[in-house]
Amino acid sequence: MSASNKKKLRREQEAAKMTEKQLAAQQEAKKTKLMTAAFVVVMAAILVVAAVVGVSQTISSHGIMEKNTTAVTVGSHKISNAQLNYFYMDAINKFYSQYGSYASLFGLDTTKALDEQIVDEATGKTWADDFLDSAKENAKSIYAMADAAKAAGYTLPEAEADAIASELETLDLYGAMYGYGDGEQYLKAIYGTAASIKGYQEYRELSALASSYYNHYTETLTYEDADLRAKEAENFGAFSSYSFNSYYMSTSKFLTGGTTDADGNTTYSEEETAASEAAVKAAAESLLSAAPKSVEEFDAAIAALSVNEGTTAASTAYTDTLYTNANTLYADWLASADRKAGDMAIFPSESTATNTDGTETTTLSGYYVVFFNGSTDNSFALKNVRHILITPEHSHEEGETHEDGETYSEEELSAAKATAEEILKGWQSGEATEEAFAQLANEKSADGDGTTGGLYENVYPGQMVDSFEQWCYDASRKAGDTGIVESTYGYHIMYFVGDSDVTYRDYQIENALRDADVQTWYDATVGTVEIVDGDTKYINTSLVLSNG
């Protein structure tokens, strides 16, 4: 997908709020963020998505030509159309599962054939071409990393191999659920006539080996304090958090004149556009010249702008965020060593569009006006805690079903709370030790796999649901404290283990070092592998994702 198409989607996402199972998934995703989509394929999710979007391959000829024609060569591996089609369909499924109903914002019409829609006007690349390119890159990554694993003598852990075997055992179930004779027929409907249980198993095991080895390598990297301090010295402010208020003024708000056609579309001349850009710049500079001493004065200056006369003027937006999450237009300004409370600055925001001839046009979108409040260096200790999650149980009536995420009744919540209170009381009347709490977590928690004792180590701000995090970071919290916290997941019976010996600052620095080192290793392992195109005529590029 071209950069210009990617810019069409602007979706604000909340920081993840996770249970232990979700945290584990996020950590795995973070470890593999440099890898390609197929590294984190989940069998059940793919099958469900494929069924939902109505993907269906034509079943004919038993797939003989698909199996015997080389679609692409990666290093020493000749990959057939049948093998590449697993990567191709999973690239499509990943895109659809991520964006679904937002696909049209990227210019994709799911009711039309992929090879009939252009994704990049400058090159003439179709959506089918784009997904096929992704498939080839995914194949390159996986084969290269799997080769590296084998060369290092690394094998897929037994638990991961067992997980794949369990996934494959569900194929017949999914086949029956969606009206196919068995699991293999279902695979053929999704991945083409040449798909088979054996072929898909090989694909899954290869992908899992590549991903597992990548994670294994990442986990072997360790750093000394001297390494952290050297990284910190490169940019001290990069690991701090910043508090500020900002106001964005769009150039469009200052447009006047214009010509409206019969369909109600208004266009502006170059002179009118230039006038609006000059006006928004003048307005931003006037806020800076007003030199407000507080956020309240800043808001008052905004309300006094002539462009806001007779309107309910928007006030400033308060933000408290890490340097890495701050708007790149002004992140370095925030992190400047001489920055102090009350400082203000304006920052132009520009947008770039790619023209049909491949050239780019840059226009002024507006200005950010930023008022600095303060910063923290994040040198506080992270927290270690155990918990037992008690989830409410739905009272099922005959014929009644409940979906994940459904709101629980007061009765169901009360029952769950009573269970949590009973468990905590029982622990308090017994040994009341951390070891006893961990055993209870293994036995009774709805979270985790029953082996970790409900332990979270190095809990950092923004990681957990608010109530959970607030309990952990309560200033009065001390080792051995217990309590019950309610969240959207149910009731958490809490046990505070104590402060970690890792600070939030050092946690960030170590992650930055690891990310950079893993990227260098990955580039050296995968980037040098040669990929040569073959004949992909048996890939279904005329696929239609939805019946409308």
The pLDDT value recorded for residue 545 is: 85
Instruction: Say if residue 155 is in the same domain as residue 197.
Output: yes
The pLDDT value recorded for residue 43 is: 40
In-domain check, residue 111? yes
Instruction: Say if residue 88 is in the same domain as residue 22.
Output: yes
In-domain check, residue 191? yes
Q: Which residues contact 272 (CB under 8 A, 6 or more apart)?
A: 255, 256, 257, 258
In-domain check, residue 336? yes
Q: Which residues contact 211 (CB under 8 A, 6 or more apart)?
A: 32, 35, 39, 40, 145
In-domain check, residue 520? no
Instruction: Say if residue 435 is in the same domain as residue 471.
Output: yes
Instruction: Say if residue 107 is in the same domain as residue 209.
Output: yes
Burial class (CB in 10 A: 0-12, 13-18, 19+), 315: middle
pLDDT digits (tens, 9 = 90+) for 220-272: 999 999 999 999 999 999 999 999 999 999 999 999 998 998 888 999 999 99
- Least Cα distance to 213 among 161, 147, 158 occurs for 147
Instruction: Say if residue 251 is in the same domain as residue 202.
Output: no
Instruction: Say if residue 346 is in the same domain as residue 458.
Output: no
Contact 99, 9 (CB under 8 A): yes
386 φ/ψ angles, rounded to the nearest 5 degrees: -115, 155
Counting the structural domains of the chain, the total is: 3
pLDDT digits (tens, 9 = 90+) for 335-348: 999 999 999 999 99
531-533 and 70-74: which strand pairing? Answer: antiparallel
In-domain check, residue 213? yes
State pTM to two decimals: 0.79
Instruction: Say if residue 336 is in the same domain as residue 485.
Output: no
Question: Range with the lowest mean pLDDT among 61-65, 191-195, 455-459?
Answer: 61-65
Instruction: Say if residue 135 is in the same domain as residue 181.
Output: yes
Question: Range with the lowest mean pLDDT among 54-63, 218-227, 394-403?
Answer: 394-403
Q: Which structural domain, as residue segments, surrounds residue 342?
A: 241-264+280-376
CB atoms within 10 A of CB 311: 10
SS3 assignment, position 211:
helix
Structure confidence at residue 393 as a pLDDT band (50, 70, 90): confident
Instruction: Say if residue 360 is in the same domain as residue 496.
Output: no
Given strand 381-390, what is the order of strands in its sheet? 455-459, 381-390, 490-503, 482-487
Instruction: Say if residue 186 is in the same domain as residue 86.
Output: yes
Instruction: Say if residue 160 is in the same domain as residue 112.
Output: yes
Question: Range with the lowest mean pLDDT among 95-104, 396-405, 465-474?
Answer: 396-405
- Least Cα distance to 335 among 389, 297, 375, 365 occurs for 375
> Measured between alpha carbons, how far is 263 from 44 in angstroms, rounded to an integer?
46
Instruction: Say if residue 176 is in the same domain as residue 246.
Output: no
> Measured between alpha carbons, how far is 463 from 486 in angstroms, rounded to an integer?
16
> Measured between alpha carbons, how far is 24 from 322 in angstroms, rounded to an integer?
22
Q: Chain-centre distance of CA 482, in angstroms?
A: 33
